[in-house]
Amino acid sequence: SQQGEEDPQALSIQEGENATMNCSYKTSINNLQWYRQNSGRGLVHLILIRSNEREKHSGRLRVTLDTSKKSSSLLITASRAADTASYFCATDGNDYKLSFGAGTTVTVRA
Amino acid sequence: KAGVTQTPRYLIKTRGQQVTLSCSPISGHRSVSWYQQTPGQGLQFLFEYFSETQRNKGNFPGRFSGRQFSNSRSEMNVSTLELGDSALYLCASSLDRGSIGELFFGEGSRLTVL
């Protein structure tokens, strides 16, 4: 079963615009991670945020975490064509399993 | 530093056959996790091996099995293949137990069952 659920399922934006996607999860976590997957390829780690952190930045990426609402958001600023991909949130549990959501497919139009 | 290597990248099998997939983790990584990815079910956790021991298992039938060798390389096996086993099988390695930190994924093995 999937712990995290991303929203929206798909997103289409113009190059240069910002893209925001959300992740909601059900049980308490130690950390939450975001990954990117280009079509049919392996996943690439983007950022990890721990349960005691509220916000984290990495280049054009900004991740927030609200443990009281059991939700996280990923913001990609000034999007580029190369950002076209599927984005997944992944949450851990006390069982060391990393569970992935269904993903948000982002299309950046030139 | 070489990344995670999965072989074969593509394979076609028929129902009833069995298949073995291989994963070579990043040097020094002790944990290898396997995931099945399908359009309908998304990424589903199969199992995790750490120091040659299976530490975690997902909700898959016993037809799915795996092992890890002393050099941390891992294999997974699916016996009596069914059409529904068609998927992208992803292997990921990490320094420590799977969920503690970043996972490094291979490019996957795409299995088609006819």
> Which residues in chain A (35-94) have CB-CB distances under 8 A to chain B?
35, 40-45, 48, 88, 90, 92-93
pLDDT band at A1 (very low <50, low <70, confident <90, very high): very low
Residue A48 · residue A31 · CB < 8 Å: yes
Write down the pLDDT at residue B98. 64
> Which tokens is B44 given?
């589903």
Cβ pair A96:B110 closer than 8 A: no
Residue A100 · residue B42 · CB < 8 Å: yes
Nearest to B98 among A2, A45, A96 (CB): A96
Residue type for position B107: E
Spell A55-86 as b/e; 16+ CB within 10 A means b. Answer: ebeeeebbbbbeeeebbbbbebeebeeebbbb
- B104 neighbourhood in chain A, CB within 8 Å: 45
Distance CA B59, CA B41 (A): 12
Distance CA B73, CA B22 (A): 8
In the predicted model, is pLDDT for residue B100 greater than 80? no
Write down the pLDDT at residue B2. 81
Question: Could you identify the residue written with the tokens 């079509």?
Answer: A39
- Residue pLDDT, tens place only, A28-57: 888 999 999 998 899 999 999 999 999 999
- Ramachandran class of A19: left when φ > 0, alpha when ψ lies in -120 to 50, beta otherwise: beta
pLDDT band at A2 (very low <50, low <70, confident <90, very high): low
Question: Could you identify the residue written with the tokens 């970043």?
Answer: B102
Distance CA A35, CA A99 (A): 12
